Structure 1
């Protein structure tokens, strides 16, 4: 194998694939990136056995071939080469080292047999549809903060995507919850997604997918099998195992008859929460929200730091209520509200609160109260 490639092209592609590679691996081959040169250019492939990425880039290939090289080391070398450099990569089939040259720099990297590199991109993907990049970006951005990191409830360690009908409209819905808060966001159902089964896409896949979406304005082709999902971009294919579990019936935890409605300026409320919570030294940063007609009072106290109180105007005309929240959870939800006003629907101090945008029915959030 012998080829020449622009440093910027190689660096961008290595940046995508090396982030899939774990820093510690029980199998040495999983620390490597597979490099395959053909007449069409260079293909880079990395996997952790749960997530697989293949990216194809243009390169001047003098001699086709394939090998594997340490992913993170190769990325660091190329990152430190000067801008505009040309990189020559060579590998002899009978050798065990890959040679990289650029200007007066020369590197020799140990390789592992390409035959040992695992492939998980194979299989039959029976269901396929294309979703607009801005729609997929919105589904991820507005739900990923609520993904659980608790390994014992592994079925919550991702985003649940499914096709459904909402208010007579066919939608593609994304849901994430960690038991303390829940995020539910939907977009118009893409053509071909009618028969899509409910799937749970793992957190790591969601984060890698989000990076790739940032660099495309095109549609993303989504293909499904019984156990895997594949996202295809222009030159990149991301394949992931799905979480093998049953997502809970989230509709049961969304209150339907919360009758105490509060409308408040999103930024005004978020800034006040941020200030008042600074007094709390606890990890939860608990705050108390007292709501009375026309007025919202935020308070927090700490045995060590003291206390804080702030009042803001609010649109509210129901009975006075006091409710406690985790301020970090509250601010994360407020950060997803795209309009100027947030609508809170409450029942009492012990029941879940529903939060949504008054002018957007596509996003809904549920936040569990806490004792303060």
Structure 2
């Protein structure tokens, strides 16, 4: 294998691929990136067997071949070379010679034949969506995903397709974010899948061009997203997402309207003296007044009052302050609407007009 490539052409896809490669591997070859050169095309592949990224680059004047190269060493070499230089790669006796200007490196390799195959089932569902549309949906729900929860179905995002309706749901068991949107074309698909946490984070990172059209293919076991010259693939979580519809089927107090920034600022200040572990704050609501208060084991306390619009009876309820802040930060409107269940089991946070995005947070005891 022998070829010359410009640093800028190689660096970006290499950085994207290295992101999916774990630093600690069960198989040494998984720390490598697979290079395959054939028919004027260089294909780079990186995987941890759960998530895979493939990049395809057009090249001329090359000698075909395939090999695997230590991913992080190669990235460091390319990153530290001067901008816009050409890099020459040449494989000889299982060693890869890398040369650019007066810089020369000889890197160890492992055979391409030993690189594990990423198992993919037949993709029988397809739809197209703009990158910006999918990224917004992910951004509105990703922060709610669980991290290493024993209920492994919560360690990811539920994606529900019902013809043109797209719904994404993220939850860690204490809070839940729902984002709904509409796909431009009819898909004829009715399916729920769970994309694993790592897959969600890597996919969101790749969606940097909002105008780009994405081709999304998936089955019950895998999802594949074609992003320009990149192909992202992930294995899906083999489980059923819990039914959260009952949270809507209960009685609620009158909605509370509050200026988003006012609530955000007051919460941030009061939370300074909350319990560092639980971050609990109490909401005391009476007419046009919301009192936010907290205390901690050091017997420190804080409270602040802000104006609200509320027509119901007085009530008091406590929340994790960070959960409320996360929800409010994801609202696009200047006004936040909080609706508390009469049995104090949950609180809905949404925008006054748009029904695309809902955030549900469970209360806590102080």
TM-score (norm. length: structure 1):
0.95
1:187 alignment partner, SS class = strand
Measure how far apart 1:215 and its partner are.
3.4
Change (3 A) 1:330 1:5: same
CA–CA distance in structure 1, aligned partners of residues 250 and 9 of structure 2: 52
Aligned to 1:264: 258
Q: Does 1:351 align with 2:345?
A: yes
Asked if residue 54 in structure 1 is aligned to residue 78 in structure 2, the reply is no
**C-alpha distance in 2, partners of 1:269/1:68?**
53
| Gap change, CA 1:283 and 1:83, over 3 Å in 2 | same
Alignment-derived partner of residue 254 in structure 1:
248
| Structure 2 gap ranges (5+) | none
Given the alignment of the two structures, is residue 65 of structure 1 paired with residue 65 of structure 2, yes or no? Answer: yes
1:111 — aligned with what? 109
Distance 1:192 1:205 in 2: 26
Q: Is the 8 A contact 1:44 1:55 kept in 2?
A: yes
Give the secondary structure class of the aligned counterpart of 1:277: helix
Q: Deviations over 1:15-49 (max 9, x none)?
A: 01011100001111111000112233321101111
Q: Which residue of 2 aligns with 1:278?
A: 272
Cα displacement (A) at 1:123: 3.9
8 Å contact kept, 1:38–1:61: no
d(CA) in 2 for partners of 1:228, 1:361: 30
Kindly provide the CA deviation profile for residues 262-312 of structure 1, in whole angstroms up to 9, marking residues without a partner as x: 000111101110010001242221111111111111111123261111111
Report the TM-score, using the length of structure 2 for normalisation. Answer: 0.96
Task: Select the residue among 206, 214, 228 that pairs with 1:220.
Answer: 214
Mapping for residues 81-92 of structure 1, pairs under 5 Å: 81-92=81-92
Once residues 251 and 356 of structure 1 are traced to their aligned partners in structure 2, the CA distance between those partners, rounded to angstroms, is 17
8 A contact 2:257–2:309 mirrored in 1: yes
Change (3 A) 1:89 1:252: same
Paired position in structure 2 for 1:316: 310
| 1:337 equivalenced with 2:328 (yes/no) | no
Distance 1:349 1:302 in 2: 26
Cα distance in 2 for partners of 1:349, 1:311 equals 24
CA distance in 2, matches of 1:148, 1:315: 33
CA separation of 1:342 and 1:250: change in aligned 2, threshold 3 A: same
Aligned in 2, Cα 1:256/1:6: closer, same or farther, shift over 3 Å?
farther
Matched, 1:186 2:160: no
Match of 1:13?
Answer: 13
SS of 1:54's equivalent?
strand
Superimposed CA distance per residue, residues 207-260 of structure 1 (whole angstroms, 9 cap, x where no aligned partner): 111111113521211101231110011100011100000100021233543132
> What's the CA shift string for 1:155-190, capped at 9, x where partnerless?
11110011248xxxx511001111100000011034
Q: Partners of 1:30 and 1:87 in 2: how far apart?
A: 24
Relative distance call for 1:9 and 1:256 in structure 2 (3 A) is: farther
Query: Quick one: distance in 1 between partners of 2:343 and 2:234?
Result: 41
Describe the SS at the equivalent of 2:205.
helix
Distance 2:280 2:343 in 1: 14
Instruction: Give 1:348 deviation, angstroms.
Output: 4.0
- Native 8 Å contact 2:120 2:222 kept in 1: no
Q: Residue 331 of structure 2: SS of its match in structure 1?
A: coil
Q: 1:26 to 1:202 in 2, by over 3 A?
A: same
3-state SS in 2 of match to 1:246? coil
Shift, 1:349, TM fit: 6.7
Residue 356 of structure 2 aligns to a residue whose secondary structure is strand
Give the corresponding residue for 2:76. Answer: 76
RMSD: 1.6
Number of residue pairs matched by the alignment? 366
* 177-186 vs 112-121, greater mean Cα deviation: 112-121
**Corresponding residue of 2:2:** 2
| Structure 2: distance between partners of 1:308 and 1:61 | 70
